[in-house]
Amino acid sequence: MKLWRRRASEAEASTASIVVDGARKSTGGRARTRVVMTMAVFFGIYATIAGRLVYLGFEDAEAPSGPESRITASRPDIVDRNGEVLATDIKTASLFAEPRRIVDPNEVIEKLSLVLPDIEVEQTYHKLKSGAGFVWLRRQLTPKQQNDIMQLGIPGIGFRTEKRRFYPGGETASHIVGLTNIDNKGISGLEKYIDDQGLADLQATGLAVATDLKPVRLSIDLRVQHIVRDEISRAMEKYHAIAAGAVVLNAKTGEVMAMASVPDYDPNNPYNAHDKDRLNRMSAGTYEMGSTIKSFTTAMALDSGKVTLESRFDASRPITIGKQTIRDFHGKGRVLTVPEVFIYSSNIGSAREADVVGIEGHREFLHRMGLLERMNTELPEVARPSEPKVWKKVHSITIAFGHGMSTTPLQTAVAAAALMNGGKLIDPTFLPRTEAEADAIAEQVIKPKTSEDMRYLYRLNAEKGSGKRAEVPGYRVGGKTGTAEKVVNGRYSSSVRFNAFLAAFPMDDPQYIVLSIIDEPKPEKPGMGATSGLNAAPIVANIIRRSAPLLGVKPEFSHESKATLVSYQ
């Protein structure tokens, strides 16, 4: 019995030992499994990190970070006729943000305002809170602004390299060259013209590659352009005017060599480009051109064959028609020859010249000369002239001396070129053009004999008439003054004027037309007048004196001619 109990006890102990050993073996296996799993997880994490480091090591260091954005397209350089750069592309940095990575928009705005004090706080806050992947904060930063923002170390913002337009000459040719918008698209001037000729389509298809874009050469001469702008700026200040302008036009080809209008703007910072007073008055403004229109009245009379230089017109008494009375500013009170009508700028004589041709003939002639048609040229900013809907005799009489119709100064110069070049009307161009190309598109609008007579009258007026202050020794200048009263409160004001001087040189074979305008000039000194001969004519003289050598016109002092006044007292 005792033996049995002892064996049973030994069997129980043996069984217990086997159970304990099995438990120990099971626990050890689970522990090893956990260790292996843990090691696998850490291995996976380190493998991922290592893989990412390898990837970043091979990634292009110059590749931009952040979401993709639209890149501004390239534009061709714009150069003057001598190859001087007027507009070109430069690289600039633009600031963007990734709102999803922005933690505190207020802190970002506070820091950015240290560099960009004019930042739109509310608008920027909404952008940063939008949760978008990409938003622009400021386009086209200066290098200093970019550097200062980088020093702030703000997470979630970055920079993109874009192209922007740079104009080395600043304001010098702003109205001609024009502007681009923030996306480098042309919106005015020749910049817009270039887009309209196909550049915009190339940009849209991604084919506007900088290396493939040849420079666009203009007809203007930057040296002469600088002179023109300098002279009209000085005149505006000297005569306390509200505006001034001038153009130099090649009479043989129609090329615009220079054209400026002030006030203007800096295309590199065009914050005021759309202000009303920054209008390009030479092509986008219409004005009653005053007595410069008498050039065309006289040419019309001569071209009709009913009037010659020896013809005479009675200017002894004013003309009364309806409620209007036509008088001369400095009347002679007698019969005047055609040259006298011209150099004395007789309103009465001009009215009688128009009467010879008749109302319909008068209107047709001005349309033929392009003065009442919308001008055809590359510049987009071109105004449409105005005229009476129905011409009556009173309209013909007043238009004869420059009141009652409005046209642009540029097309006045273009029409004057036809008076000087043998009678050929040539559309103006801001691109290079040869004489042969000009002849192919020219329209004969007056007889060569009429042009010869008008050259004589222009020179005579500079020697003996109101154009004396436009004289430049050696260059044989001729021209016609124009002092127009402006309409104030529905009536013509004798104290508010729009003045112009229309000139050509050298008069034996005119190569260039120069037209100056000055809006609401004041007397230079107390007691002086403010007529065209006193302010607009000197502008032309200064432009010719400084620019003629640059234009290749040599002075001749040995062949100075003196026109003879045909006078019948």
Output the pLDDT for position 117: 93
The overall pTM is greater than 0.85: no
- Least confident range of 16-20, 231-235, 525-529: 16-20
Helix (H) or strand (E) holding 503: strand 491-505
Q: What span, in angstroms and rounded, lies between the C-alpha atoms of 340 and 441?
A: 35
What does the DSSP assignment read for 521-541?
---SSTT----HHHHHHHHHH
Rg of the chain in Å (alpha carbons): 39
- Stronger pLDDT, 196 or 66, i.e. the higher one: 196
Domain 78-217 listed as CATH 3.90.1310.10: yes
Q: Given a cut of 50, is residue 173 above it in pLDDT?
A: yes
Q: What span, in angstroms and rounded, lies between the C-alpha atoms of 569 and 566?
A: 10
Q: What span, in angstroms and rounded, lies between the C-alpha atoms of 271 and 119?
A: 16
Output the pLDDT for position 8: 47
Nearest to 377 by CA among 327, 412, 413, 411: 411
Dmax (CA) for the chain in angstroms is: 178
pLDDT above 90 as % of the chain: 70
Output the pLDDT for position 526: 86
- Least confident range of 48-52, 256-260, 396-400, 472-476: 48-52
Three-state DSSP string of 262-310: ECCCCCCCCCCCCCHHHCCCCCCCCECCHHHHHHHHHHHHHHCCCCCCC
- Least confident range of 34-38, 512-516, 550-554: 34-38
Using DSSP's 3-state secondary structure scheme, residue 564 falls into coil
Output the pLDDT for position 262: 98
Output the pLDDT for position 206: 53
Both tokens assigned to 380: 């987009």
Nearest to 222 by CA among 284, 173, 168: 173
What does the DSSP assignment read for 138-168?
EEEE-HHHHHHHHHH--TTEEEEEEEEEE-T
Output the pLDDT for position 204: 56
Contact 123, 109 (CB under 8 A): no
Locate all alpha helices (DSSP H) within 59-119, ordered by sequence.
105-115
291 in catalytic set:
yes
Task: Point out the catalytic residue in the list 174, 261, 291, 345.
Answer: 291
Output the pLDDT for position 67: 40
Contact 478, 467 (CB under 8 A): yes
Output the pLDDT for position 19: 45
Output the pLDDT for position 357: 97
The residue to which tokens 């500079």 are assigned: 462
Number of H helices, E strands in the chain: 17, 18
Output the CA torsion sign for 374, 375, 379, 381: negative
| Rounded mean pLDDT, 63-70 | 42
Q: How many CA atoms lie within 13 A of 308 on its CB side?
A: 2
Output the pLDDT for position 202: 56
> What does the pLDDT look like over 325-384, one tens digit per residue?
899 988 888 999 999 999 999 999 999 999 999 999 999 999 999 999 999 999 999 999
Neighbours of 427 (CB within 10 A): 17
Q: What is the DSSP letter of 514?
A: E
- Stronger pLDDT, 159 or 209, i.e. the higher one: 159
Q: What CATH number should be reported for the domain whose range is 223-567?
A: 3.40.710.10
Nearest to 391 by CA among 412, 371, 405, 376: 405
| Rounded mean pLDDT, 197-221 | 73
**One fold for both 78-217 and 223-567?**
no
- Least confident range of 93-107, 109-123, 189-203, 423-437: 189-203
Three-state DSSP string of 221-275: CHHHHHHHHHHHHHHHHHCCCCEEEEEEEECCCCEEEEEEEECCCCCCCCCCCCC
Contact 475, 555 (CB under 8 A): yes
Q: Given a cut of 80, is residue 198 above it in pLDDT?
A: no
- Least confident range of 33-47, 323-337, 422-436, 522-536: 33-47
- Least confident range of 2-6, 77-81, 529-533, 547-551: 2-6
Bridge partners (DSSP) of residue 321 are 324
Q: Where are the domains of the chain?
A: 78-217, 223-567
Output the pLDDT for position 4: 41
C-alpha distances in angstroms, 304 versus 212, 393, 420, 425? 54, 18, 17, 17
Output the pLDDT for position 264: 97
At 97, the pLDDT band (50, 70, 90 cuts) reads very high
Q: What span, in angstroms and rounded, lies between the C-alpha atoms of 256 and 342?
A: 27
At 69, the pLDDT band (50, 70, 90 cuts) reads very low
Output the pLDDT for position 37: 73
Q: What span, in angstroms and rounded, lies between the C-alpha atoms of 208 and 202?
A: 5
Neighbours of 61 (CB within 10 A): 5
Per-residue buried b or exposed e for 13-34, using 16+ beta carbons within 10 Å of the residue's own CB: eeeeeeeeeeeeeeeeeeeeee
At 419, the pLDDT band (50, 70, 90 cuts) reads very high
Q: Given a cut of 50, is residue 420 above it in pLDDT?
A: yes
Using DSSP's 3-state secondary structure scheme, residue 470 falls into helix
Contact 177, 165 (CB under 8 A): no
At 568, the pLDDT band (50, 70, 90 cuts) reads very low
Q: Given a cut of 90, is residue 11 above it in pLDDT?
A: no
Q: Given a cut of 90, is residue 542 above it in pLDDT?
A: yes
- Least confident range of 75-89, 103-117, 240-254: 103-117
At 494, the pLDDT band (50, 70, 90 cuts) reads confident
Average pLDDT, the chain: 88
Output the pLDDT for position 16: 47
